[in-house]
Structure 1
Amino acid sequence: MASTTSRHQVQDAQKLYDDRAAHYDDSWHPLFAHHMVQLADLKPGDHVLDLASGTGLVTFAASMAVGQTGSVTGVDISSGMLQQARSRLENHDLENVEFHQHSITDLDTLSVLRGKEFDAIMCASVLVLLQNPGQAIKAWAVYLKAGGKFITDVTHPASQISLITFERVGRGLNRPLPFYRVPFQKPEDLQLLMEQAGLRDNHIVSLSQLEAANAGEGIMAYMTDPAHPRLDKLYTIEDADDVFDKHIDHWAAELLSRPEIKNEARKIFKEEWARLANEEGKIEEMDCVFVGIGTKVG
């Protein structure tokens, strides 16, 4: 049986987001980007680096916060996402925004960033797509000013459970998927990576995608207890085959869909799926994202 032990992260990102670019904003992402900018607490005149800027959701929200005396530099590898962002930029009179197509894991070779430092670095909805997120955070922190803020996020392990289950199957069969969520099982896992990157005053905020009734106004209505996240969906153990069939033909799972491995992948998927069940045989999918906020010391 042939095996594959690694993937090409840049090519995976291009494929994943080029395919989603046209409809990416038709989701929960715009509101989440707005919340990320709120948590960054940007000030007029701040200079911001938006990594994996995509369609510009964080970029444009940040540009409004920093004003004309500040700036936002967006970096993304996906030509499809950047096309959407630049199209939006053409329709807005914003002189404090610029976009660059480049890998966020290789910023040293992006000449426009040489010698620059930023008041804030933001990276939304992408850290779990990186093979070595700790190494990436360390490299990014170089571009922060002393006292500058770093903001990023990872998905709760019980959120989007079909994808993390496929990830576990891929790891077990040495057929990896382009997702790296398994290492983030609790908020402290993200907090530790930030500390190892030299960031301090690190803390984690848990956010949901859906507003909770009677939970306050604005962003407060989306904050959750990480130990008790909001329930999004209920599955049963018997749903395993349907969930497997729904996702197995997606390109991200292509290494598991090949004839010589597909049946074994299904078997392991069902085993992993059953492990998620509670005493009542129910599998709870939660609505929660961990947002990490840290500061670079002088």
Structure 2
Amino acid sequence: MDARLMDATFSRNQPSDARRLYDDRAIRYDNSWHPRFARHMVELARIHSGERVLDLACGTGLVTYPAANAVGPTGSVVAVDISTGMLAQAKAKQADHKHENVQLLQHSVTDLQSLLQLQGETFDVITCVSALVLLERPYEAVKQWATFLTRGGRMIVDVTHPESQISLITFERVGRKLGRPVPFYRVPFQSPDDARRLLEDGAGLRNVVVHSVSQMDIEGRDDLQAYLSDIQHPRIEQAFTIGDADRLFDKHITDWAAQSLANDDIKQKARAVFREEWVKLADASGQIREVDEVFVAIGWKQ
């Protein structure tokens, strides 16, 4: 996307921003760790036969169809996404799906109350996978979602560890400081307790548990157990130095998430702020670690 268009493109309207970003990424989205991670989320949610599932920000259906397989013909899955491109990929998979228990809906997940197909409906499980950090007001979102849960039902969401994908969260901090839109909101989630509080205080759920899950591929392993990690000692992906700041800035400035900072009028100022924020991440030896960890929170409605 042309950086000159970013001020117009990132309108500070979350549903519109998500639609544009993911329409562009849709055809490539499954060529990543996302399919395996989605399967692991379905396993952690312990979805079983006969349940009704609401899959929010369903994307290409990576959670939708494993969930549909889990609930079987006596259950159902309603999947909601704002992106035309992502839903097109999900619909293409529907022809190969053996159950006719999936309904795909195009709508913003931040305004479910206005979705006619959901009025009066409740679900045993609500999932939102690899998407919560795209929401500007996550507490408001999960509070609304919880109204669609049955008593005894559960919600599963994930938020990225603050030291994972560390260049991107640094760009988020730069964008906030410079008043430029960056289409994700990871900074508020700094610990497992932040994920727990989101479901407890935001959604009013109880008995919340938080798992630590790795995303990057582990050679020869595809099972969930291999990707569960010690929440206090996450898997180290790589390490950087303070001197890597400019290299990483140049590498990622044209990425989909940072392009609002790539215009000529802001780029050098953004570089300077990136350096400042990068230095803050270093330990006493000047090392900056990048981990591979996501906090997965599951809570129950009483």
Which runs of 5 or more structure 2 residues have no equivalent in the other structure? 1-6
What do the CA deviations read for 1:243-265 (whole angstroms, capped 9, x no partner)? Answer: 11122223533332222222111
Q: 1:204 matched to which residue of 2?
A: 210
Q: 1:286 matched to which residue of 2?
A: 291
Q: 1:147 matched to which residue of 2?
A: 152
Identical aligned residues as a percent: 56
Deviates more, 1:230-239 or 1:204-213: 204-213
| The one of 86, 89, 94 aligned to 1:84 | 89
Output the CA distance in 1 between the equivalents of 2:259 and 2:120. Answer: 41
8 Å Cα contact 1:211-1:221 kept in structure 2: no
Q: CA deviation at 1:274?
A: 1.4
* Secondary structure in structure 1 of the residue aligned to 2:153: strand
What do the CA deviations read for 1:109-163 (whole angstroms, capped 9, x no partner)? Answer: 1100000000000000011000000000000000000000100000000000011
Q: 1:10 matched to which residue of 2?
A: 15
Output the CA distance in 1 between the equivalents of 2:94 and 2:234. Answer: 36
Asked if 1:254 corresponds to 2:264, the answer is: no
Q: 1:57 matched to which residue of 2?
A: 62
Q: CA deviation at 1:6?
A: 7.5
What do the CA deviations read for 1:73-130 (whole angstroms, capped 9, x no partner)? Answer: 1000011010000001012232011100100001111100000000000000011000
8 Å Cα contact 2:11-2:17 kept in structure 1: no
8 Å Cα contact 2:72-2:99 kept in structure 1: no
| The one of 70, 76, 81 aligned to 1:71 | 76
Counterparts of 1:1-298 in structure 2, within 5 Å, are 7-196=12-201, 197-210=203-216, 218-297=223-302
Q: CA deviation at 1:211?
A: 6.0
Q: CA deviation at 1:218?
A: 2.9
* Secondary structure in structure 2 of the residue aligned to 1:120: strand
8 Å Cα contact 1:50-1:58 kept in structure 2: yes
Q: CA deviation at 1:212?
A: 5.9
Deviates more, 1:16-25 or 1:129-138: 16-25
Aligned length: 294
Q: If the length of structure 2 is used for normalisation, what is the TM-score? A: 0.93
Query: Partner letter of residue 248 of structure 2?
Result: V
Q: CA deviation at 1:217?
A: 8.7
Q: Structure 1 segments of 4 or more deviating over 3 A?
A: 3-6, 210-214
Output the CA distance in 1 between the equivalents of 2:254 and 2:46. Answer: 42
Deviates more, 1:235-244 or 1:101-110: 235-244
Output the CA distance in 1 between the equivalents of 2:255 and 2:223. Answer: 36
Output the CA distance in 2 between the equivalents of 1:42 and 1:60. Answer: 12
Q: CA 1:6/1:225 → structure 2, altered by over 3 Å: closer, same or farther?
A: farther
Q: CA 1:29/1:211 → structure 2, altered by over 3 Å: closer, same or farther?
A: closer
Output the CA distance in 2 between the equivalents of 1:229 and 1:252. Answer: 25
What do the CA deviations read for 1:1-22 (whole angstroms, capped 9, x no partner)? Answer: xx99971101111122111111
Q: If the length of structure 1 is used for normalisation, what is the TM-score? A: 0.94
Output the CA distance in 1 between the equivalents of 2:181 and 2:87. Answer: 27
> What's the C-alpha RMSD, in Å, of the aligned pairs?
2.0
* Secondary structure in structure 2 of the residue aligned to 1:243: helix
* Secondary structure in structure 1 of the residue aligned to 2:258: helix
Q: CA deviation at 1:234?
A: 1.7
Output the CA distance in 2 between the equivalents of 1:108 and 1:41. Answer: 26
